[in-house]
Amino acid sequence: MDNRAIGYMDSGVGGLTAVKQALYQLPNEQVKYVGDTLRMPYGPRRTEEVAKFSLQIGHYLNETADGIKLLVIACNTATAAALPLLQEHLPIPVVGVIQPGVEAALNATDNNVVGVIATQGTVDSNAYYNGLMAGNPGIDVHQLATPDLVTLVESNEQDHDKKLAIVREQLAGLAGSGIDTLILGCTHFPLLMDEIQEVVGDEVTLVNAGAEAINLVEQILDDSDARHGIYPMSNHEVDQYYTTGSVDTFGEIATRWLDIPVSVKHLKTDANDLTLIEGE
Ligand code: DGL
């Protein structure tokens, strides 16, 4: 039994797609989340920079308040850049979102033609391509960087038609590819699930990599006997959400997406540190 929270990190609100699955699948577990909205997007940044930010956030989550018992790197770009680094530097289990996404796609595909939409950083890392090939060398992989979908989600746009137009334009490169499965290889993208499904068609299975990672989290908690001890732990009001950007925008998106009231605190970023700004 371990009553510490599970930590989540992302460049912004994207990691909330993993949190949403965790609230459903592991409702007894507290959440401690950092969205690095000020330094978003991570996708176009250098690998070393994303690794540095990820390490900074991992340390913050692990070393403030009661710490965390496990970290989910709820960001594909950060997983590609920093999973082994964080596993090496933090004294807790660290879970990435890419391998769970790979495994779910390998299970879902019938025709072995799989698409991956992700940030430029994730596409350039080839982490999905290599993972899919390792699982099935006969697979046909179509990778596409769709960075505008990250900024679209963070813009908090609510108009379906406007969102649909941008999704259609960003996904144009997949037309005629014959994919039967599409990995949402950026945790922001499930927030556009309806529009993406409309563009690719109902016959294409969408894989939500962030949500898939929660199966691995559950397995680690069980293997290490680390589930929250008090059942039911109904008080998600004490969950902790932090952003380095706008508290209001983050709070609005989080409350709507998670369908629970979320109160958000502001973190200030310095070159090497994150500092909690009280009262903001
Ligand atoms: N949500 C992130 C991911 O899964 C990154 C988006 C970004 O900051 O570019 O890759």
Residues in CB range of 262: below 8 A, 6 or more apart: 239, 241, 251, 254, 255
Give which of 153, 162, 156 is closest to 188, Cα–Cα. Answer: 153
Q: Which atom of ligand 1 is nearest to the CA of 97?
A: 4
pLDDT score of 124: 98
Distance CA 186, CA 45 (A): 15
Strand bridging mode 264-269 / 274-277: antiparallel
CA of 197 relative to ligand 1 center, distance in Å: 20
pLDDT score of 44: 97
pLDDT score of 232: 65
Pocket test for ligand 1, best of 8, 10, 19 (most atoms within 8 A of CB): 10
Give which of 23, 167, 10, 183 is closest to 103, Cα–Cα. Answer: 183
Starting at the edge strand found earlier in the chain, the sheet holding 68-73 runs 94-95, 68-73, 5-10, 31-35, 240-243, 264-269, 274-277
Q: Which CATH class is domain 98-210?
A: alpha beta
pLDDT score of 32: 97
The residues carrying an active-site annotation are 75, 186
CA of 151 relative to ligand 1 center, distance in Å: 10
Region of residue 109 (phi > 0: left; psi between -120 and 50: alpha; otherwise: beta):
beta
Fold that domain 5-96+211-277 belongs to in CATH: Rossmann fold (3.40.50)
DSSP string for 15-80: THHHHHHHHHHSTTS-EEEEE-GGG---TTS-HHHHHHHHHHHHHHHHHSTT-EEEEEE--HHHHH
pLDDT score of 270: 79
Question: For every one of its 280 residues, what pLDDT tens digit does the chain have, with 9 covering 90 and above?
Answer: 999 999 999 999 999 999 999 999 999 999 999 999 999 999 999 999 999 999 999 999 999 989 999 999 999 999 999 999 999 999 999 999 999 999 999 999 999 999 999 999 999 999 999 999 999 999 999 999 999 999 999 999 999 999 999 999 999 999 999 999 999 999 999 999 999 999 999 999 999 999 999 999 999 999 999 999 876 666 898 999 999 999 999 999 999 999 999 999 999 987 777 888 765 5
Q: Which atom of ligand 1 is nearest to the CA of 45?
A: 9
5-96+211-277 and 98-210 have identical folds: yes
Domain boundaries, the chain: 5-96+211-277, 98-210
Residues in CB range of 214: below 8 A, 6 or more apart: 18, 21, 22, 25, 26, 72
Distance CA 179, CA 202 (A): 12
CA of 60 relative to ligand 1 center, distance in Å: 19
